[in-house]
Amino acid sequence: MGASDVGSLGACSPVVEYSREFQARAAEELAQLPEGSAVAEMFSDYAVMREQSRACEISG
């Protein structure tokens, strides 16, 4: 299977739902990380992947 075949699998990754309280806690913890933190960059990547999964669910 090549990279172009990934979209043809017909399955979207599940998106975990977090409570508002948990999201607020995560935002507070993220704000405390130092500028340029690797964890903050990974968190940003995770947000993009969640949006892509949501778009997949809507279009799928």
> Is residue 58 domain-resident?
yes
> Is residue 19 domain-resident?
no
Measured between alpha carbons, how far is 37 from 9 in angstroms, rounded to an integer? 34
> Is residue 48 domain-resident?
yes
Range of 40's domain?
A: 35-60
- Nearest alpha carbon to residue 56 among 2, 4, 10: 10
pLDDT digits (tens, 9 = 90+) for 24-48: 999 999 999 999 999 999 999 999 9
Which pTM was predicted?
A: 0.65
What pLDDT band is residue 59 in, cutting at 50, 70 and 90? confident
What pLDDT band is residue 16 in, cutting at 50, 70 and 90? very high
Say which residue, 5 or 11, is predicted with more confidence.
Answer: 11
